[in-house]
Amino acid sequence: MTIRTRVKANARKEIFRRISDNVFEISVREKAAENAANERVMTLIARHFGVSVKKVRIVSGHHRPNKRISIAS
């Protein structure tokens, strides 16, 4: 399964909101530096879908707010 996300790093509140079936808006408190925000996003997605973090992978958008993320079943 592939989902699209819009990520905001360094936010005041952590927010995980589903916009449509495969589109999510995620705000995380971690800064974008040193991949901290991406790691937190993958943790939140894994928790939401009930899978291991190892099964969540960023396909595109490593350095951008808009990301495509793959979730292995």
pTM of the entire structure?
A: 0.93
Query: For position 12, which CATH number holds?
Result: 3.30.1200.10
Rounded Cα–Cα distance for residues 48 and 31 (Å): 21
Domain count within the chain: 1
Mean pLDDT of 4-32: 97
CA-angle at 1, arms to 5 and 56, nearest 5°: 65
Q: Which pLDDT value is given to residue 54?
A: 97
Rounded Cα–Cα distance for residues 11 and 20 (Å): 22
Strands 15-20 and 56-60, sheet pairing: unpaired
Residue 16 structural domain: 2-71
pLDDT tens, residue by residue, 21-52 = 999 999 999 999 999 999 999 999 999 999 99
